[in-house]
Amino acid sequence: MKFIDEVKIQAKAGDGGRGCLSFRREKFVPLGGPDGGDGGRGGDVRLEVDMALSTLLDLRYRQHLKAKNGAPGMGKNMHGKSGEDLVIKVPPGTLVYDDDTGELLADLTEAEQGFCLLKGGQGGRGNARFMTSTNRAPRHTQPGMPGEERTLRLQLKLLADVGLVGLPNAGKSTLISSISAARPKIADYPFTTLVPNLGVVKHGDFRSFVVADIPGLIEGASDGQGLGTRFLRHIERTDLFLHLVDLSGLQEGDPVENFDLINQELERYNQELAKRPMLVVFTKQDITEVREQTAELRPIFEERGYLTLAISAVTHEGLPELVNRVASELDRMRQRAPA
């Protein structure tokens, strides 16, 4: 399924139905008087979270959305039927912006959370509403009011507990495929991962957490280099970062300098990201040379206050310890968080 995380749509609520101009005419009922009914109200446009969705793909091909109009009023004081609401299903983590002003209208994160986006127009009044003691036969009605209309920009930010960050080919996709049922594309060239991937990691008997695999970051990612500017927003909602460090020689430059470079890009994009808890994970421990370098570099990161772990996603070495550590860190953070 194609991953679509931003769409622009033109949405319009339904117009109200017009009021009816009618007079009662029945045998043996002289001067029956006005009996025109009111028009029906136009349908609203509503958004509703559907937990089964993970992309905005459906809306990419439905860019003009309109709720039903209200029916016009009828004689015998019969009111028109109200227009049916238009309910737009969106995945959790969807933000809704007014495209003209940039105003954030809604942030939808909870299951079945709803939001009334546009109000339908009020139905017009029929001539029966205008009868007075001095005007017994009014010929005046009201047209229905138009429904609200807006150009909207919908943006998806994935909801995950843990975000995997690091340079391209650091082993993020291999890790998420080893600890969850996610099956991202894995290859030995940069930017194999073109879109974020989510994986549910189970631990214990009935517990789990969600991991997001973000496309590799490079220098200048916060300015649009590589794929960073498009997908950095998907880690804004994560509670914990796993920074994967590859010592196999696939990345050029000093590993510590590369680590600092990625952290600087996160901070440049959003200063709050620099304050998030982070665990340093040395990958590819099935290679002897990598094991030796890990032993040398581990004290450097620990002196900075980082908790370090060493794993091999291929042989599954260290994966149980990683899952347990992440779970305990998330539990500790949630216990400290305000209610």
Dist CA 80 CA 85 (whole Å): 15
Tokens linked to 310: 């060493």
Under the banding of pLDDT at 50, 70 and 90, the label for residue 148 is: very high
Enumerate the domain spans of the chain.
Answer: 1-156, 162-336
What average pLDDT is seen over the chain?
A: 84
The secondary structure element, H or E, covering residue 174 is: helix 172-179
Q: Looking at the domain that runs over 162-336, which CATH code has it been given?
A: 3.40.50.300
Options 3.40.50.620, 3.20.20.120, 3.30.9.90, 2.70.210.12; which CATH number does 1-156 get?
2.70.210.12
- How much is the pLDDT for 255? 86
Burial of 192 (0-12, 13-18, 19+ CB in 10 A): middle
Under the banding of pLDDT at 50, 70 and 90, the label for residue 189 is: very low
Long-range contacts of 173-178 (CB under 8 A, 24+ apart): 173/197, 173/213, 174/283, 174/313, 174/314, 175/213, 175/242, 175/244, 175/281, 175/283, 175/311, 175/313, 176/211, 176/213, 177/313, 178/313, 178/314, 178/316, 178/319
Averaged over 161-184, what is the pLDDT? Answer: 81
The answer to whether the CB of 244 falls within 8 A of the CB of 322 is no
If you ran DSSP here, which 8-state letter would residue 304 be given? T
Per DSSP bridges, beta strands 6-12 and 149-156 are antiparallel
The answer to whether the CB of 199 falls within 8 A of the CB of 211 is yes
If you ran DSSP here, which 8-state letter would residue 29 be given? B
Is-same-fold flag (1-156; 162-336)? no
- How much is the pLDDT for 179? 85
- Residue 175: how many CA atoms within 13 Å on its side-chain side? 31
Who wins on pLDDT, 271 or 233? 271
Q: In terms of Cα–Cα distance, which of 214, 203, 222, 268 is closest to 241?
A: 214
